[in-house]
A and B are shown apart, each in its own frame.
Chain A
Amino acid sequence: MITTVEAVPFVAPKTQGAGVPDQDLVLASKNLYVWFGPRMVLADVSLNFPKNSVTALIGPSGCGKSTYIRTLNRMHELIPSAALAGQVIFEDKDIYDPTVNPVDVRLRIGMVFQKPNPFPAMTIKENVLSGLKLAKLSNSNQNELVEKSLSQAGLWNEVKDRLDNTGGSLSGGQQQRLCIARSLAVDPHVLLMDEPCSALDPGSTLRVEQTIRELSEFMTVVIVTHNMQQAQRVATYTAFFLLEDNNPGYAVEHGPTQHIFGNPIDQRTSDYVNGRFG
């Protein structure tokens, strides 16, 4: 549903930083604006996500990181009163083009959530294959797909002997990797992760981070995180989001991770990554 929002002229904020080269992009947002009802929550976000890279989105709570990531696979529009303007280019096509089916977008751009959310009524195997059922896809070799997806998520060795147990029988970290495997089973090209480790203990967190690094060998990952160390451990690129006063949130600075953390251009980025606020 697209609500009409009264256009109030304002000075668009500018994203600083070295940015990301314009070539070999899988995903990019161009001048993206987002609203909830009449309230603009994100303004003019243009970010590039190169192929097989990991990009971390950092920033204080409520600055619109999660909202932004949900616009990248058309999950944002499922919230009543949500609206947006601008483009999200995925593999040279705008995913908001009227001819594009949102279901196809979500299959190619997978998502992992903050809280591990395996389907409780399904076994581990059924959870991995749930995407096929939900999107009415067929796969001739389901056992192979289950093994491949769970291996990619780094979970195969731990669960191969109990694929018929329910997902709820696993630990939190294992459940989260099961959710990653579930997303991988429908063969996405991009994986969006919304604070995937915030509900996990440090050991499980490291395990998931290792999975993310392995995934980035063949796919593009965008991860929202509040953990500065995590961003530096896993991300090639980092974007810093900020919301000030009553203005909409926006991307203050975007560039290679070592620039953002080593010698940021914007003073606010420097303050944030050094723990002076947020």
Chain B
Amino acid sequence: MVVQPPQPRTVPRNAQLTKADRRFARIMTAAAFFSLIVLSLIAFFLVYQSLPAIRDQGLINFLTGTEWDSKTTSDGTTTEDPVFGVAAMLWGTILIAIIAIVIGLPVSLGIAVFIVFIASARLATLLRNTIDFLAAIPSIVFGLWAISALTPVGKQWGEWLTNSLGFIPIFENNLGIWVGTPFIAGIVLAVMVTPIITSVSREVLGRTPPELINASQALGGTLWPTLRYVAFPFAKSGIVAATMLGLGRALGETVAVFYVLNLTYGKINWYQIVSPDGGSIASLIVAKFSEADPLEISALLGGGMVLFIITLIVNAISTTIARSTVKDM
């Protein structure tokens, strides 16, 4: 017998909602869109405001140039055309962020492993709270600590690195000055990204299923093999996401870096991390903004836009990875 199948129908999603539910849902929708609108407005503002400078300099020159000079003398007269290139500052930003991750990631993982797998419950709680507290310290305080306490020590460490490991190109220093180096700025940032990386890594390592840890122990696995073959593979993408979050903070940090880093224009310091030739877009903006003429302000906003785009990319990567981790679990 041939029968006609019944007509399928769907129930609209908000049919079950009460009036109050619907009003609440509208407010929540507005809040969700608000964040999108704010983000778009910031992006639009940055592009719009930086257009004069980018038109003046040309996009390629702006992105690849290393000089930053408004050519304005103290009495306010301009004799030559200003040059604004963001490349040295951009690479400097990335370089100190890399240093921060290279130092901060192993430390963070060590703390996370200790909290999850080694420490007693009481010590683990204490450490967790301490690390979270570290994340709450304002960056100006880190900056003051960095200039008054870290710089004198970091200078000696840098000097030691040049003297004993100077044959490795990254530890070269031809100036004999070890203050204001990317190395010191990187250490400050390492301290600042450690809480973020630690708490996310702790969270994902702590989610290693106990039955997998049991399985490893029953096969004769002690702490290190269990970490290496069971816990780290399980937590891998979470740790990568944590690192990206840390990187995001390191790229955008302003005040702490501004206090300890010497900004050098005219060349890109590709790798000499204990040489006092640094760059940081955020610090550049702080250093130049107060005395800038309209064109330079536009150029500084262009720098801000570059930084904005890079942090957006890093965050996008980290959320993508974090999302795929959630899917795996």
Contacts and interface: CB of A to CB of B under 8 A. Distances in A.
A149 interface: no
Interface string B224-247: 011001100110100000000000
Interface stretch (A87-95, A129-137, A140-148, A220-228): A129-137
Interface residues of A, number: 27
| B interface: dominant SS | helix
Interface stretch (A46-54, A111-119, A209-217, A261-269): A111-119
Nearest to A182: B219
A75 B214 contact: yes
B286 interface: no
A65 interface: no
* Residue in A110, A121, A182, A183 with the greatest tally of chain B CB atoms within 10 Å: A121
A134 B209 contact: no
A78 B225 contact: no
Contact of B220 (A78, A80, A107, A115): A107
A248 B29 CA distance: 58
B215 interface: yes
A113 B220 contact: no
A94 B222 CA distance: 21
A75 B219 CA distance: 10
Given A121-B234, A186-B219, A136 B225 contact: yes
A75 B218 CA distance: 7
B217 interface: yes
Contact of A115 (B211, B225, B229, B234): B211
A186 B215 contact: no
A119 B218 contact: no
A118 B219 CA distance: 12
B211 A135 contact: no
B221 interface: yes
Interface string B293-329: 0000000000000000000000000000000000010
Contact of A119 (B120, B212, B236, B328): B212
B221 A135 contact: yes
A168 B20 CA distance: 45
Given A110-B218, A110-B219, A117-B209, 9 more contacts: A107-B220, A111-B218, A113-B211, A113-B214, A119-B212, A130-B216, A131-B220, A134-B220, A179-B215
